[in-house]
Structure 1
Amino acid sequence: MAFYAYLLRCSDGSYYAGHTDDLEVRFAQHQSGLMEGYTAKRRPVVLAWTEMFSTRDEDFAAERKLKGWSRAKKEALIAGDWDRVRMLARNRQGLDDPG
C-alpha cells in the first residue's frame, strides 16, 4: 500500500500540509468542502506537491515536518529547488547569514 504526504495551495494563497493513503479521494474531499477545518473555507484548492511513502509513519513524519516549514521553503520544495530548500533550512537554524 502507498501513502502520500501532500501540500495544497488554497484560494487565499496559503498552504495546507496533509497525508493520506488515497490521494485522489482525499483531494476530492478537500475540494468539495467535505474536509472540515482549514481548507473548507479556502476553496478551491490545488494539489501543489506530493510524495509517496511506503509506510504511514513515513508520510505522517513528512507532513509534520512540512507543517513546520516556512512559506519560502514550501515554495522551493514545490519548485523542486533543492539548493534553496537546503539554504533555507540552514538559515532557519542560524547557520548562515540570511542577507
Structure 2
Amino acid sequence: MVVQLTVQILIASIIGGIMGIVSHMKKRGRLEKPRMTKRFIYLGFYEDFAVGTIAAIMLVLSSEPQTSFQLVLLSIIAGYSGEAVLRSFEISSDPEKPDLPSSKN
C-alpha cells in the first residue's frame, strides 16, 4: 500500500511538473530562465514546475485514483492549471469565516 502510494506520488510529480512547464510556455510564449533583479528573484519556469508538481501531488492525495488512467489524467489537469488547483485547496481548507459587515455610504 505504501509503495503504491509512493509510486503514485512520484508519477504525479513528474507529470505535474512537465505540465507546469507546458503551462508556463503557453502563458509566456517561451521558456523564461531564472533571473535576479535588485529586489526580487524571478524563478522563471522553475516556479511553474514547482506549482504544477505540488498541485498534482495534492490532487492525487486528496482524490485517491483507482486506475493508472485516473492518475495520469488528474496529474495532467492539476499540473496544467496548478495555481487554480492550489487556490481551490486554500478555499476548501479554510474554516467557515464570518461575513464582514458591508459599509454603506
TM-score, structure 1 normalization: 0.32
Of Structure 1 and Structure 2, the greater helix share is in 2
Select the structure of larger CA radius of gyration.
Answer: 2
Of Structure 1 and Structure 2, the greater strand share is in 1
